[in-house]
Structure 1
């Protein structure tokens, strides 16, 4: 078993939509997820492979909150069962742009929501990253979303969908998210030997 770490954990949102987005998408959905996951079977297998992974995330959260610039919208809690390998989903707001917390990814159920004063600022926030695996743009105006998506610096970008999974679609990133592509005909080229055939005319 393996995993594809393509979860949207940084969300630039336009100023007028930000508070509603935090309340509805962030807090309400995270709480519903926590209730569903924790309410079905409290002894269910945890989603993390080790307690060390959870401890790394908790350390990052403490470091982020230590500066008192960002706010925690939900209380993070660890479960003792399963060697402490379960972490409640939640989100952070007001993380200082340019801080270490801004540039480092939480490889777990931690979402960061940023407020953008304009569409261009939202694009700049999205591209101000050391990583570039996947991105997504959500809008009721599909043409506008497509225009924004075309300006996002990631190996994969989606409109009104978090991530599309299909063997025909190339999978891969840019920047520190790697290079090259898995899946699709692009990946098949990595498993064949090609011959350069040149005729000097």
Structure 2
């Protein structure tokens, strides 16, 4: 459901999906085959086509609940296949940027005693795009690049560092997440 929560600005779902699918494709090709490449290539192509219409200042189409949940199920299924094949949960790091934002936002809302089932605008990407008025496409690219970097570091450093690389990346992302609070203070002043 975090995938659906994070689908709130132009380009974010398409770009983030590409970051995850490219990472899965790399692992499937060069590290550990876990599925037919077609099961990665087809949603990758679909994401590119979707971005043609969505990665614009004024999007021509949106993923909506059906689209974001649909791609989420596809991505999670691929991740589960990889986890089952390798017997290793480290690959959950391919969802690390969305995961840290979603979990930290839920914790923030619980701290504020808000109903976490109701709509809100407290995700880091929402603060950047809506409150700080950063261009939506820039925020989407930031999330895309952040996930690509995390995934590349996981792939490259996990054999050497083990789970430490996951922990270090999660802590770094949580550190960046705290920037949200400074942005919120500047907006409220």
Determine if the TM-score, normalized by the shorter chain, exceeds 0.5.
Answer: no
Q: Name whichever structure is richer in strand by fraction.
A: 1
| TM bucket, shorter chain | under 0.3
TM-score, normalised relative to structure 1:
0.25
TM-score, normalised relative to structure 2:
0.26
Max Rg structure: 1
Q: Name whichever structure is richer in helix by fraction.
A: 2
